[in-house]
Chain A
Amino acid sequence: MTERRAPGEGGGRRPTVSQRVRQIPASGIRKFFDLLASMDGVISLGVGEPDFVTPWTIREAAIYAITSGQTMYTSNYGTLELRIALARHLERRYGVSYDPHRELLITVGVSEALDLALRALLDPGDEVLLPDPCYVSYGPCAILAGGVVVPVPSSIEHDFRLLAGEVAARITPRTRALVMGFPSNPTGAVMDREDLLAIADLARRHDLLVVSDEIYDRLVYEGEHACFAALPGMQERTVLLGGFSKAYAMTGWRVGYAAAPAEIIEAMMKVHQYVTMCASTMSQAAALEALRRGDEHVEEMRREYDRRRRYMVAALNDIGLSCFNPKGAFYAFPSIRTTGLTSEAFAEQLLLEEKVAVVPGSAFGVSGEGHIRCCYATSVTEIKEALERIDRFVQRRRATFPQ
């Protein structure tokens, strides 16, 4: 972090960078970039995106959009065609009905949608509850929107689910919103309907808004995804964020959406129109094709991830890095406590000694300490090789660490 200097001190220059930006920590993931850049032969389980290329039918639709001259801005909300298709999609999958004219907004990924939602909902000093560990953007976006972050710890004992009791214990009169994302990045945890009902009950009693990042909704391997907005009474207080990046292997297209009551979408749109105008036109054409003809491809990729998931989780447990069963997304989040190392030390030494990149759990919050995030969106061949290397590394550490 930049050192704070009082005005006038040290040559009279005030800090160049704003207090608000200085307040947000640098991403714990970034420092691995520099290390990695100088190394050859690294197998990376540190990614956060599919290894599949976008299905051809989707790429082809975008090419068609370009050749047929769809090169102008779209409506600030996104193309009506896409919003109508999206409304149908959400209705069909989760039984939630959103008005495509007033309750849906197409954004530059869930990333932008999250930022818009928090900016639209928070006043300075409002407290925002976040599961800990959680996706790296939730905290910084909340801070940038003037919010105060209140982490809600979770642990391997409860498969990293967000427990209503833990949430309740942190609600104050200033609590405005809960931001959560299940299936979870980094843990792979899912919340079933019962788990969510308990959260919904709190939201109702304490008049909380819930920002539910369901970008991994299609990557669930056991049971069905439960959509928070579909719970009784929740649609009116939920901002549902969803996307195309993970399910359709479309991370580079930068397109996603928010679904929420008209008043909230209107507020989000106000920010969106001044900041980005609209999501990329070609990417919206691609997203439309994804909704129209992507299902089979999603299912094929999901099946492939599932094989890799089972393989990786079994292998991690065999190595002695105990790993709960992650039922969604594409991450395993094993405990590394038996090695006696911190997550960061583990990740750094593993990279230097065995050339395998993983992300330290601490990058996602203090409750992530003692864990590492291993992404299985990588070929089985690579997973196999990576796990052999991790095994060697762990055996060496074990030999020196008294159990």
Chain B
Amino acid sequence: MKDVLRILEQDARTTPEEIAAMTGRSPQEVREIIRQAEKDRALLGYHAQVNWEKAGEEQVWALIEVKVTPQRDVGFDAIAERIFRFPEARSVYLVSGTFDLAVTVVGRTMQEVSAFVSERLAPMETVQGTVTHFLLKRYKEQGAILDGEDRPQRLPVSP
């Protein structure tokens, strides 16, 4: 299964037939593996990775440190869920250190992001405090360098 997922992780558009040729499996087997992985949620989706800035759309990103009071029985999970249900929250992690939840938030303007933090996040009962870091420049996301690397030129024919 991992061989199939590795190929899809690199290029989600690779067809089952192509994956079959690359792995030595049959196309039928590849389809079955993909179906099972989707079912197990080992395969979460097939998204294009878009740099909206380059596409001419302004976006404001912020990293929010959230300090919370863990609740009896559910620990951090309940508050994490209340936060991750918001589409504005792009990722939510529980972290070790001086705060508890690391949340990335995206919006169209700074006002929009700060409104989300001050009106939705901060007022939750178990949230003790938040620190907002607006992103000034994004260099690399999910393994992709945003400005792109210059592809060095190879000689077209070499021994």
Q: Which residues of A contact B (CB under 8 A)?
A: 27, 29, 32-33, 36, 42, 44, 46-49, 51, 53, 135-137, 185, 303, 307-308, 310-311, 314-315, 357, 359, 380, 384
Contact = CB atoms under 8 A, between A and B. Distances in A.
Nearest to A36: B156
B155 A310 contact: no
B154 interface: yes
Contacts of A311: 18, 21-22
A308 B22 contact: yes
Nearest to B20: A314
B22 A307 contact: yes
Interface string B11-45: 10010001001111000000000000000000000
A44 B14 contact: no
B159 A27 contact: yes
Interface of B: 6-7, 11, 14, 18, 21-24, 149, 152, 154-159
B159 A310 contact: no
A49 B158 contact: yes
A32 B159 CA distance: 11
Given A310-B23, A311-B18, A314-B21, A53 B158 contact: no
A307 B23 contact: yes
7 contacts: A27-B159, A36-B156, A53-B149, A135-B159, A137-B159, A357-B157, A380-B11
Given A47-B157, A49-B158, A357-B156, 16 more contacts: A29-B158, A33-B155, A36-B156, A46-B158, A47-B158, A48-B158, A48-B159, A185-B159, A307-B23, A310-B21, A311-B22, A314-B21, A315-B21, A357-B157, A380-B18, A380-B22
Contact of A36 (B6, B149, B157, B159): B157
A308 B21 CA distance: 9
A33 B157 contact: yes
Contacts, number: 55
B91 to A, nearest CB: 25
A135 B156 CA distance: 18
A310 B24 contact: yes
Contacts of A48: 158-159
B8 to A, nearest CB: 12
Contacts of B23: 307, 310
- Residue picked from B14, B23, B157, most chain A C-beta under 10 Å: B157
A74 B11 CA distance: 44
A252 B14 CA distance: 31
A337 to B, nearest CB: 23
Given A307-B7, A380-B14, A47 B155 contact: yes
B82 to A, nearest CB: 39
Contacts of A307: 7, 22-23
Contacts of A357: 156-157
A27 B155 CA distance: 15
A27 B158 CA distance: 10
Given A310-B24, A380-B11, A380-B14, A29 B156 contact: no
What are the 9 tightest A-B residue pairs by CB atom distance, in nearest-first order? A307-B22, A46-B157, A44-B156, A48-B158, A314-B21, A311-B21, A136-B159, A311-B22, A32-B157
Contacts of A27: 159
Contacts of B24: 310
A213 to B, nearest CB: 13
Contacts of A136: 159
Contacts of A42: 156
Contacts of B152: 53
